[in-house]
Chains A and B, each alone.
Chain A
Amino acid sequence: MHYEMMNLIDGMPAILAPRVNTPRMALAVAMCGGVSREARAGTAKMAGRLLEKGTERRSAEELARELDERAIDIRPLVLADSLVLAAAFINRELDAALDLVEDMLFHSTFADFDKERDKLTGETQAALDHPGELAHDLLTRTLFEGHPYGHSSTRVLEEIGELQADSVRAWYYNGLSPDRMNLVLVGDFTPQEVAPKLSAAFANLAGREPVLTAPPLTPLEGDRVVTRAHPNAQQAQVLRGWYAPPLGAEEQAAMTVMNTILGGGGLSSRLFVELRDRQGLAYSVRSQYITMRLTGEFVVAIGTSPENIARARLGFAEQIARLQQEPITPDELDFAHGWLAGAFVLGQETNSQYCLDMAINHINGLSPDYSERLQRRTREVTIPDVQVVAQSITPPSVTAIVAREDALPTE
């Protein structure tokens, strides 16, 4: 992949990646300041939402109309360690998209705070009507208890009433500084043509003193089991999560390969073949390796009939023990290499995918093309490397179970 970097203003980088003959461009502006830097749960989510509620030049309705009438899609994405304003638009709308992004980023009025808080509350309650979401919430808030990474949906509901418009605004503006931001543009353009436009759009960006930093993470001790009843749930949701290597860690490549073999590799992974195909326990069973700046999270998850809870937990334990005790086969390693090569190509097919990937990598202190480098590193992972990272899946862990009351384990 080819990209160019330029200094936009006061050290704020712009990453430009031309891709000819593509109908839509993608633009992302990322800033340090995701969930990890918030003091109260919901701060980052509210800030992201309020960027859509009008600016000094445009009311919320005018902003909505202009975006829709020009078919410019601009979404605020609130992530663990960053906040990204991501835009996609037909090529001819580049100037309008830049104007709108600049306006939303620097001139948002943060209006309608109370109304937006009510909407977020309702949407969150609706999401928690799904047992799977509730189980994920339970896992996150327990595994990262005492840290903003644990600001799950239920934590947001608990704290959102205490949020104030001024504190959300102050939190947002703290991240709005050239040394804590980047801009990425991908599409059918030449860097010479767009560079002056980008510089002009960000000319008024002023530096700010850094105030908010992510607190250190103190891991739990031991293994915990947390349960929650969900009336009438047809399935039990069983998740187990461990701490794992963070984004950019040396072990990330081996962990990624191990996850592919265990439960991240589509229809061929061990969990899928053993728990779904052979035992018929589930439609959905998987493992996931999620990376953040301060830690990673390794999760196995299944939705199964309530009477299968013990069997599913045993199945997870057996498959992880197998990875720890026996080397994977050369065929499995080849499979993982191929799967991950495909994940890289298919994950960067659209301009929006490629743009967002570069923006997030870079804002987290990595090279914009870190995903490509990581994919190359996975090819160098050996069979012993996989066994070593599998052996690092040890306590502490959290098991979260959501099911009908009568099906919940009593441990």
Chain B
Amino acid sequence: MEQIAQMHEVALPFLERPARWATMENGHQIFAIVKPGSVVHLHTVVRTGSVNETEENTGVSHFLEHLMFKGTERFPAGQFDRMLEGLGARVNASTSKDFTQYFVTLPDNADHSHYRLALDLHADMLLHAALPEEEIGPPFDPENPRVTEKRERMVVIEEIKMGRDNPWRQAIIALNEQLYPNHPYRREVIGTAEVIAGIPRASIYNYYRAWYQPSNMVTIVTGELEPERVIAEVAEHFTFHGVEPVLHPGFPPEGSPPAPRIERLSNPLNVGYIAMGFLGPASSDLRATVALDMLSLILGEGISSRLHQRLLEQLRDTPFFGVGSTHWTYRDSSNVLAYGIARPDAVEEAYNLLQHEVVRLQQEPPAMREFEKAVTRLETQFAAQTETAAGLSVAVADSMARLNDPTGYVNYLDVLRGITRDDLGHFAGMYLSAEHHCAVTVSPGV
């Protein structure tokens, strides 16, 4: 069994007992979080996502995530799902630009035997995925409707089509291309039908071997379990062979656009959609990240936010049906998104109003009430994450995946409480400038 190279105790907010964070000699990191309750959550995050893809294999991280559920030598396709779901577990996975994660959430039982079985199956899936040809299906021409042997390739292509039928998703895809013209973040996580229909198994397998290495993986177990024993059990099940070092390519940070980039689309829709984006900091800049969380909240999150009150409630003859904002954090460069749903005949007017209101954050920095509200609401959102074993694990996994340590989670509240109103004015000026925004509008039309 792999030996522990380092072990730390980590105090997590709202939890009585500290978590244990172990780094094994092969680089695999294990987090054991003690959370009282009747639910156990198992979570492994792999530090690879669409950021590590090229035009030739775009979508492979997500396709691989699907194929990881297609069996191992010990358990053929379908058995993993059936055994765990039959114990009441929910199994799932997700792929993002920076990382891919796999989860099992299940009710605990008296002797924890269900959790141990889940751990055995979870580790086996991650380390010994068979990626069988018959489950992937042969390559095919996605334009040829007569092809019948499609299997998992076609499942992913159906998922791509499902996204194409979502107007918001279309707007966000176009906005990403504007925001990140040079960085691989411009590509869609899900990839293209052409690549998914044709990518050979060998390419998928090589990607799997290259990135699913111990030094690139973090396993988190959250539940009412003894942490030392959890770490020993995880280490025992995660026995890696053929260990290789993982080299993460560095990408130059995307520069702010020298002038606004605006794309106007039209589609046969009932209403108009406006998405406006501003490039933000790398996740490693926790102060700027938290400040943009606060600015987004003040700008457009909640019914007392500026966008909601000024553009939706107080504006006479408002063109908007809905408005909001959010801050998407990515490892290399986040973005703040302001958005609106508008009357079909007033999309351009709505875009101008939205732009004006975002930029007002610089001329009219947050008032004390807004500032205090942002602190209180983010503190409460943080507390709400700890209500479920899964929510807590996801939050810790996010920090481990982007920063390679838990500081993004552990230090969040301290950083939040250390930010001043002047800081918010400074960060609004730095990131939310009218001259450097990108926007996509989708107007109803043919």
Contacts and interface: CB of A to CB of B under 8 A. Distances in A.
Q: Do A and B come from one complex?
A: yes
B374 to A, nearest CB: 9
Q: Which of A266, A303, A341, A351 has the most CB of B within 10 A?
A: A266
A384 interface: no
Nearest to A127: B270
Contacts of A235: 158, 161-162, 165
A206 B83 CA distance: 54
B153 A68 contact: no
A386 B64 CA distance: 37
Interface stretch (A128-136, A219-227, A356-364): A128-136
Interface stretch (A102-110, A275-283, A317-325): A275-283
Q: How many interface residues does chain A have, given as a range?
A: 35 or more
Interface string B362-393: 00000001001100110111011011110000
B249 interface: no
B267 A232 contact: yes
A339 B86 contact: yes
Contact of B380 (A90, A112, A276, A346): A90
Nearest to B372: A69
Given A122-B321, A283-B156, A350-B387, A130 B380 contact: no
A334 B87 CA distance: 9
A122 B341 contact: yes
A158 interface: no
Nearest to A339: B85
Interface string B297-309: 0000011110011
B14 A349 contact: no
B199 to A, nearest CB: 15
Contact of A342 (B106, B137, B161, B343): B106
Interface in A190-215: none
A343 B369 CA distance: 41
Interface string A53-93: 00000001100110111110000000000000000111000
B137 to A, nearest CB: 7
B162 A119 contact: no
A234 to B, nearest CB: 4
A234 B116 CA distance: 43
B356 interface: no
A130 B162 CA distance: 10
Interface stretch (B31-39, B48-56, B121-129): B31-39
A304 interface: yes
A119 B308 CA distance: 12
Contact of B155 (A121, A130, A283, A346): A283
B78 interface: yes
Given A67-B303, A342-B107, A277 B78 contact: yes
Nearest to B386: A23
Contacts of B389: 349
B152 interface: yes
B107 A345 contact: yes
Contacts of B16: 21
B341 A281 contact: no
A281 B148 CA distance: 10
A268 interface: yes
Q: Which of B16, B69, B153, B158 has the most CB of A within 10 A?
A: B158
Nearest to B153: A280
B388 A69 contact: no
A128 B270 contact: yes
Interface string B161-178: 110111100000000000
A115 B316 CA distance: 10
Contacts of B151: 277, 280
A305 B153 CA distance: 13
Chain B binding surface SS class: mixed
B308 to A, nearest CB: 7
B81 A266 contact: yes
Contact of B107 (A61, A132, A303, A346): A346
B250 to A, nearest CB: 34
Contacts of A115: 313
Contacts of B305: 68
Interface residues of B, number: 72
Interface in A111-154: 112, 115, 118-119, 121-123, 125-126, 128-132
B243 interface: no
B195 interface: no
A338 B69 CA distance: 20
B396 to A, nearest CB: 17
A179 interface: no
Contacts of A267: 69, 78, 81, 85, 91
Given A71-B380, A273-B78, A345-B39, A129 B158 contact: no
B271 A342 contact: no
A287 B377 CA distance: 37
Contacts of B105: 346
A52 interface: yes
Contacts of A126: 270-271, 321-322, 341
A253 B32 CA distance: 37
Contacts of A159: none
B258 interface: no
B413 to A, nearest CB: 13
B434 interface: no
A231 interface: yes
B255 interface: no
A284 interface: yes
B266 to A, nearest CB: 11
Contact of B91 (A266, A276, A350): A266
A350 B88 CA distance: 17
B77 interface: yes
B357 to A, nearest CB: 16
A116 to B, nearest CB: 10
Interface string B85-114: 111111100000000000001110000000
A33 interface: no
Contacts of B302: 64, 67-68
5 contacts: A21-B16, A71-B376, A122-B321, A129-B270, A339-B86
Interface of A: 21-24, 52, 60-61, 64-65, 67-71, 88-90, 112, 115, 118-119, 121-123, 125-126, 128-132, 231-235, 265-268, 273, 276-277, 280-284, 303-305, 307, 334-335, 338-343, 345-346, 349-351
Cβ-closest 3 pairs across A and B: A342-B88, A122-B321, A280-B154
